Amino acid sequence: MRGSLCRRYGRAARGLYFEGHLKGVALMAEIDVCVCTFRRPSLADTLRSLALQTARQQHTIRIVIADNDVTREAEAAIVAICQQLGLPFTYVHAPARNISIARNACLDAAQAEFAAFIDDDETAEPNWLADLHDFLVQHEADVVFGPVDAIYPPDTAPWLRQWAFHASQPVVRDGKPIETGYTSNVIFRRAVIGGLRFDPAFGRTGGEDTMFFHALFQRSARLAYCPAARVREPVAIERTHMSWILRRAYRSGETHGIMLTSYRRWWLREFAVASAKAGYCLANVAVRWPLGGAWQRYLARAALHVGVAARTLDGKKAPTLS
């Protein structure tokens, strides 16, 4: 059911969660929906899904598009489709092929009370924006994330579908607040952002959104999760290869290691824990590989923990570019 199972964990209410249907919020709001893009034809589908948002019936919606290409070659096509769809929009040229620069351009161009982010290869369910906004207001959160559902090619291996390596949702533990998240499905109050911006050092490796939202958490922002507010992301065939999954897991681990050492003094303890977890996962790979069961999941987890150990040990400020 729409709006059911929406949960919120925050510092103000550790261990507390809410379940139930969204009842809607009567007050009209202004929301800027930010989309960073780089030479992706799929942007057209993203914009079409935004044009179908039910939130447009109640709220004032504007699309902010940051083009990360070196040239403005895509501008004419972007302007044309936004006009065709009747979408109020702002086009921003943010060159340099660094996603942090594009995200910061969106933040600088945003003017509404609320800002949302969605990727240029995703499509949103019609109630996506309404569910995010209503949940944020009802539960007095500062940031609300929604799930990203991975859509795999027809001939994708069963194990890849089973473990959903490409799907996203924040880490939610009973009794603990959400500490970070992602920009692929999120809404937040612009007032809580202030002068905080995405770190360009992470702009070509990934992890810039993890560090950004963790910084908000450190500033006592209330991070929440609404499972009803869904977006869909098709998975390119090259991203279904194990080599890509391992590289991504390793870089995610690096980002997590940097995040841990940024506010915890006991880096040696974090290194030891990550190393032990990596060893456990590799042992499971050795046991399960001959049996053909779940070894891929453990191998990916091992790569993540190796990444954590690497960054807690050397203390670098950005993941490896690969």
Give me the torsion for CA of 83, 84, 87, 88, rounded to 10°. Answer: 10
The whole-model pTM stands at 0.87
DSSP secondary structure of 153-170: -TT--HHHHHHTTT-B--
CATH architecture of 7-238: Alpha-Beta Complex (3.90)
Residue the block writes with tokens 């004032």: 60
Distance CA(306)–CA(322), nearest Å, equals 16
pLDDT of 289 above 50: yes
Query: Could you tell me which residues come within 8 angstroms of residue 163 by beta carbon, excluding any fewer than 6 positions away?
Result: 294, 296, 297, 300
- Average predicted confidence (pLDDT) for the chain: 88
The pLDDT of residue 145 is 98
Question: At what angle are helices 267-288 and 242-263 packed, to 10 degrees?
Answer: 160
Phi, psi for 66 (deg, rounded to 5): -105, 115
pLDDT tens by residue, 18-72: 333 344 444 799 999 999 999 999 999 999 999 999 999 999 999 999 999 999 9
Sheet containing strand 123-124, edge to edge, reads: 123-124, 231-234, 148-151
The confidence band for 105, taking pLDDT boundaries of 50, 70 and 90, is very high
- The token pair at 296 is 């891929």
Query: Could you tell me which residues come within 8 angstroms of residue 23 by beta carbon, excluding any fewer than 6 positions away?
Result: 134, 138
Question: At what angle are helices 99-109 and 208-218 packed, to 10 degrees?
Answer: 50
Tell whether the torsion through CA atoms of 27, 190, 87 and 133 is positive or negative. Answer: negative
Q: What percent of the chain has pLDDT over 70?
A: 89
pLDDT tens by residue, 201-245: 999 888 999 999 999 999 999 999 999 999 999 999 999 999 999
Strands 185-189 and 143-145: antiparallel
The beta strands (E) that lie in 1-160 are given as 7-8, 30-37, 60-67, 89-93, 114-118, 123-124, 143-145, 148-151
The pLDDT of residue 19 is 36
> In one letter, which amino acid is 179?
E
The confidence band for 13, taking pLDDT boundaries of 50, 70 and 90, is very low
**Residue among 34, 11, 14, 33 nearest 216 (CA):** 11
For the chain, the residue count is 322
CB distance 311 to 261 below 8 Å: yes
Phi, psi for 31 (deg, rounded to 5): -130, 125
Distance CA(86)–CA(14), nearest Å, equals 43
Q: Domain extents for the chain?
A: 7-238, 242-314
Question: At what angle are helices 242-263 and 295-314 packed, to 10 degrees?
Answer: 40
The pLDDT of residue 192 is 96
Bridge partners (DSSP) listed for residue 63: 33, 89
CB distance 92 to 106 below 8 Å: yes
